[in-house]
Amino acid sequence: MLEAFRLRNDPVQSERFRVRVVALSCVAGLALLGGRFWHLQVTRTLVYQERFEQQSMRRVRIPGARGLILARDGTRLADNEPAVSLALYLEELRVPGAFVRTRTRVLELLDLIEPVLGRPPVIGAADIDRHRLRELPIPLVAWPDLTPDEMARVAERVGPVPGLDFLIEPRRVYPHGSMAAHLLGYVGRLDPAQFPEEDRFHFLYHPDTVGRTGLEQSQDARLRGEAGGRLVRVDVAGFRHDEIAVREPVPGWDIQVALDPRLQAAAEAAMEGESGAVVVVDPRNGDVLAMASYPAFDPNEFIPAISAERFRALQGHPGHPFVNRAIAGRYPPGSVFKPVVALAALEDGSLSRHARQVCGGSLTLGNQTFRCWLHRGHGDLDVVESLRTSCNVFYYRQGLQTGPAPIRAMSARLGLGAASGIDLSGESAGLIPSPFRWSDGDTANLVIGQGALLVTPLQMAMASAAVANGGTLFRPRLVTGVRPPGADRFEPVPPEVARRAEIPAAALDAVREGMRQSVMHPGGTGRNAAVPGLEVAGKTGTAQFGPREEGRTRGWMIAYAPLDAPRIALALVVDDAVSGGVSAAPRIRRILETAFAPGGGEVLP
């Protein structure tokens, strides 16, 4: 107390005391600061060094190139080509504060580059906002498909800019445009959330693709390669410097398909401008040699991405071009179902080859009259003649004698009413009507391929092939071989038998003869499918669809050739037809002419 009083009255001593206190405080502060520096720079060196390394490096995921899809003759149906784009990495262009500041910076950069390239970017403010919310780690392509001259101009006049880079990637391309579009399918961008767990720690992603439809989808696990990556060092400004490590991506497997390009082109030419489908198969092994559905689309439109406007236009098209009618179209088969009925009746014993029925032009059941397409009637005829002339009344009478059960059983044995197992998504099983509340009128409709009975063109092609080969129903084979990366040869994929129908030879002989006469006899309904010098068996059909008052019909035909050693079986359906004989048979003929090409060498081995 006295000392404090003395210091207050002695200015010199008071000043010295304050100096000592300040000095001690400074020493204490320096000691604390030095201790903190020691802790940070010595004891925590490894921790902060590791964090620095992590913040100054970028892991970049690089997808593997998709495998090729090749036809049976080696033609490339789905290929890859290098594509160079000018892309933005929004993570490296970000500006502190609200995202609007980053968007403004990006738009200014686009305005700077546009006069250099002489064309506008394909993105705007809305695309930048959308990209930020959905796909921030993925480069945002501003100018796709750069030429070497454009790349040089950007490098010379724009120079290095953080977050701006050339993106070089393999791009899917379909060299033949819309050919076999429904069979091949198309690809789309893969969401990073679908990446394997080990690939999700990357900071940046190059765009990866995944099959969306067709073989691109069903064979995606083989076609999609194994992703690689790069470890790149960047500075605080976002500029990339040295590449620390690289793991090269592995390309996908190549696949070879049974498709014959010449037959596919012929099938598509036969259907051009129409709505319908055609399927061509090899009855010896189930190979799908051609599959065409019309209207179609060009899968190249989806590369790298289809515009929303164009996609809506295709979706809203009245012809539904995305629908693969060959496997998903459910149609009443009309008279192409009559060979199935004949086989069932001949096997059941309710019909013999030489038994005859009389067609007077119609048959009355109760208060309903069921008419033959030839109103004056066909007169007296047997099963072979009934197939040649496609007589309805013969099958009305025979169907009532045989009953629906054997017919449904034969239909199932020939693959109707069930999915074939083809390696494509979206296949319909069709429908074999059930016997619930069944009437004679239902049987009359069933035997001429009308009513509730529904089939797909693929099912009818496979059934035709089973008749041609003696009763073996194959699973339709699309992929005939697979080739791992680096391999010289394709590993074969063997054909697969779905079931054996075990049809009596006598029944098959009678039906085959009737189908032969349908094409080869001058009075046959399928005579317009005849090819000079080639023995062809077939059956035409005409089926009503839509409101009855509109009177719309579909034309059908099934066929196989040559008669004694079949190598090709077909089914074709076309909307708004005159009849199967008028509208479908000539189209079948054009496909057969290509397949066997008189004087020009045959397509098939």
pLDDT of res. 392: 96
* Side chain identity at residue 491, one-letter code: E
Specify the pLDDT at position 2: 47
Average pLDDT over residues 29-35: 73
Bridge-based pairing of strands 204-205 and 57-62 is parallel
pLDDT per residue over 392-420, tens digit each? 999 999 999 999 999 999 999 999 999 99
How confident is the model at residue 602, as a pLDDT? 54
**Residue bearing the bigger pLDDT, 537 or 2:** 537
pLDDT at 136 over 70: no
Predicted pLDDT of residue 37: 64
Residue 329 has pLDDT above 60, yes or no: yes
Beta 76-88 vs 140-143: how paired, if at all? antiparallel
Question: What was the pLDDT predicted at 434?
Answer: 86
- What pLDDT does 145 receive? 85
pLDDT number for residue 570: 98
CA-CA distance, 238 to 165, in Å (whole number)? 12
Confidence at 197, pLDDT banded by 50, 70, 90: low
**Mean pLDDT, range 107-134, rounded to an integer:** 87
238 has a pLDDT exceeding 60: no
**Is it the case that residue 327 has pLDDT exceeding 80?**
yes
Q: What is the pLDDT of residues 457-469, one digit of tens each?
A: 999 999 999 999 9
Angle at 138 between CA 132 and CA 142, to 5 degrees: 80
| Confidence (pLDDT) at 43 | 63
352: left (phi over 0), alpha (psi -120 to 50) or beta: beta
For the CA atoms of the chain, what is the radius of gyration?
37
- Give yes or no for a contact between 266 and 290, defined as CB atoms under 8 angstroms apart: yes
Check whether 601 has a pLDDT greater than 90: no
Question: Mean pLDDT, the chain, as a whole number?
Answer: 87
- Distance, CA of 113 to CA of 230 (rounded, Å): 27
Instruction: Inform me whether the pLDDT recorded for 10 exceeds 90.
Output: no
**Model confidence band, residue 189 (pLDDT cutoffs 50, 70, 90):** confident
Per-residue model confidence (pLDDT) at position 100: 85
- CA of 432: how far to CAs of 341, 443, 599, in Å? 13, 12, 43
Helix (H) or strand (E) holding 483: strand 479-483
Question: Band of the pLDDT at 493, cuts 50, 70, 90?
Answer: very high
H or E element that contains 544: strand 537-545
Q: Given a cut of 90, is residue 231 above it in pLDDT? A: no
The pLDDT, as a whole number, for residue 449 is 95
Interval 219-230: pLDDT, tens: 999 999 888 877
Model confidence pLDDT, tens digit, residues 34-74: 766 666 566 655 555 554 444 556 677 778 889 999 999 99
- In what helix (H) or strand (E) does residue 397 lie, and over which residues does it extend? helix 392-402
**What is the set of domains in the chain, with CATH numbers?**
57-257 (3.90.1310.10), 261-300+322-596 (3.40.710.10)
Per-residue pLDDT for 306 more than 70? yes
How much is the average pLDDT of 501-512? 96
Q: What is the pLDDT of residue 137?
A: 59
Say what the pLDDT of residue 462 is: 98
Range from 122-126, 218-222, 508-512 carrying the lowest mean pLDDT:
122-126
Please say whether the beta carbons of 490 and 256 come within 8 A: yes
Give me the pLDDT at residue 230, please.
75
CB 299, CB 397: distance < 8 Å: no
Query: Would you give the DSSP letter of residue 583?
Result: I
Please report which confidence band the pLDDT of residue 551 belongs to, taking 50, 70 and 90 as the band edges. Answer: confident
